[in-house]
Amino acid sequence: MRGWMAAVGAGLTSLILLSALSSSAATLTVDGGVLQVFTYPVNLRSEPPSDLTCRILGWFQAELRWSPADSPADGYRIYHKGLWPPGGDFRLLAQIPDASVTSYDELMPSLLRHRYYMTSYLSSWESEPSETINVHCKPRVPHFPGPCGLEGENHHSQRSVELTWDAIAGAVSYGVLRSATSGGPYELLATTDVPAYTDTAVADGVTYYYVVVAVDAAGNESDPSVVVAVADVAPTPTPAPTSTWTPTATPTLEPTTTAEPTATPTPTPPTSIAALEPTATTEPTSTPVATWEPTPTPTPTVEPVTTAAPEG
């Protein structure tokens, strides 16, 4: 934005230039006279775009959208910050040299959260940043496959899950994501610079779903690895061996040892004559025993039958 002011007096023409690009003064000669040029800095303020959002268009397509700035602008700049480097600054992702453009589609869906903001620029001026958004959209990279060979092992007794995967050339960091639901959403659990991680924040009886992404030195994020489900299953106790009957060999009978007969002791003679007297024995009382006498059965007498002689 420039302002011009001209004044003529006493044979002197003065031109005042209001400029935001310079604060220097200059003199010019016009038609033999002296033309004085004065420049004054003007604080022009360009507004950033508004309503910045990210839309997922498909498995491999996402875009940023915004509303144009309210002030004049030559174009827009998009700034991005991802997982790597931790605690790093935003980096310039793209510059769009057309203030009428309201979208940027060089993005992809991401399991991780990425942060974006925008500015508008006019010549060498740049506006204040727009509102920062935190979304699951990552910058598109040519080809960055995710880690392979992801495996998980549950150590129930130690309340931990041990994860390992194959290293990727060029990766400076790995992001380990976890969900308690198949299909997500996944949250960043930790970052590590080695292809292994032990999750100690696990609960009994829960199945966890893990996925790993790699990040290179430029902050580019790889495709995600395959998802691995690790169930918390208590170790099965080893059953006690069932006792089985084993036939025992028949023992050989040894001949029984006959005990030697014990010698009959010789009676010792009594020391007194009284000992020789027989001891009186009580006579047992005899109990009469009833004897059963059979009753004689009378023998029937058979009378002879007289048969009459037939007559003449």
Tens digits of per-residue pLDDT, 16-59? Answer: 444 444 444 455 555 556 655 555 445 456 799 999 999 999 88
Can you give the pLDDT at residue 55? 93
Pick the CATH number of 151-231 from 2.60.40.10, 2.60.120.10, 3.30.1700.10, 3.20.20.100: 2.60.40.10
Q: pTM of the entire structure?
A: 0.59
Can you give the pLDDT at residue 84? 76
Can you give the pLDDT at residue 204? 86
Can you give the pLDDT at residue 14? 45
Cite the residue boundaries of each domain of the chain with CATH code 2.60.40.10.
50-139, 151-231
The mean pLDDT values, 10 residues at a time, for the chain of 312 residues are: 43 46 49 56 73 91 93 94 82 95 94 93 93 93 90 86 94 94 89 95 91 90 93 64 59 54 54 46 50 54 50 46
Can you give the pLDDT at residue 256? 53
Can you give the pLDDT at residue 266? 54
Can you give the pLDDT at residue 7? 43
Can you give the pLDDT at residue 240? 63
Q: DSSP string covering the chain, please?
A: -EEEEEEEETTEEEEEEEESS----EEEEETTEEEEEEEE-----PPPPEEEEEEEEETTEEEEEEEPPSS--SEEEEEEE-SSSTT---EEEEEE--TT--EEEEEEEEEEEEEEEEEEEETTEE------EEEEEEE--S--PPP---EEEEEGGGTEEEEE----TTEEEEEEEEESSTT---EEEEEESSSEEEE----TT-EEEEEEEEEETT--B------EEEE--PPPPPPPPPP---PPPPPPPPPPPPPPPPPPPPPPPPSSSGGGSPPP-PPPPPPPPPPPPPPPPPPPPPPPPPPPPPP-
| CATH class given for the domain over 50-139 | mainly beta
